[in-house]
Amino acid sequence: MTGMIDLRSDTVTRPTDAMWAAMQEATLGDDTVEGDATVQALEQEAAALLGKEDALFVCSGTMGNVLATLVHANRGGEAVLDQHAHMANSEGGGVSRLAGLFCRTIASHRGEMDLDLLSDNVRGGYSRYGEPTAMVAIETSHNAAGGCVQGLDYFSRVAGIARERGAAVHLDGARLFNAAVALGVEAREIALHGDSVTFCLSKGLSAPMGSVLLGSREFIERARTLRRTIGGGLRQAGIMAAAGLVALRTMPAKLADDHRRTLMLWERLRENTRVETDRPAPQTNILRLAVPDGRAEDHARWLATRGVAVRASGRQAMRLVIHRHIDDTAIDTVSNAFEALPG
pLDDT in tens, 86-101: 999 999 999 999 999 9
Give pLDDT, residue 125.
82
Neighbours of 48 (CB within 10 A): 12
Neighbours of 273 (CB within 10 A): 10
Look over the chain and give the mean of its residue pLDDT values, rounded to a whole number.
96
**Beta pairing partners, 214:** 55, 197
Q: How far apart are CA 108 and CA 145, in angstroms?
A: 9
CATH architecture of 5-11+254-339: Alpha-Beta Complex (3.90)
Give pLDDT, residue 1.
55
pLDDT in tens, 56-74: 999 999 999 999 999 999 9
Please give the sequence-ordered ranges of beta strands (E in DSSP) within the chain, or none if there are none.
5-6, 54-58, 78-82, 102-106, 108-109, 112-113, 133-139, 168-173, 196-200, 211-215, 276-277, 286-290, 308-309, 311-312, 317-321
Domain ranges of the chain: 5-11+254-339, 17-250
**Max alpha carbon distance in the chain (Å)?**
62
How much is the average pLDDT of 134-146?
97
- Whether 266 shows a pLDDT value over 70: the answer reads yes
Give pLDDT, residue 301.
97
Instruction: Tell me which of 68-72, 73-77, 296-300 is least confident.
Output: 73-77
Residues 128-150: b if buried by 16+ CB within 10 A, e if exposed = eeebbbbbbbbbbbbbbbbbbbb
The full DSSP string for 183-239 is HTS-HHHHHTT-SEEEEESSSTT--SS-EEEEE-HHHHHHHHHHHHHTT---SSTHH
CATH architecture of 17-250: 3-Layer(aba) Sandwich (3.40)
How much is the average pLDDT of 163-178?
98
How much is the average pLDDT of 35-47?
96
pLDDT in tens, 214-228: 999 999 999 999 999
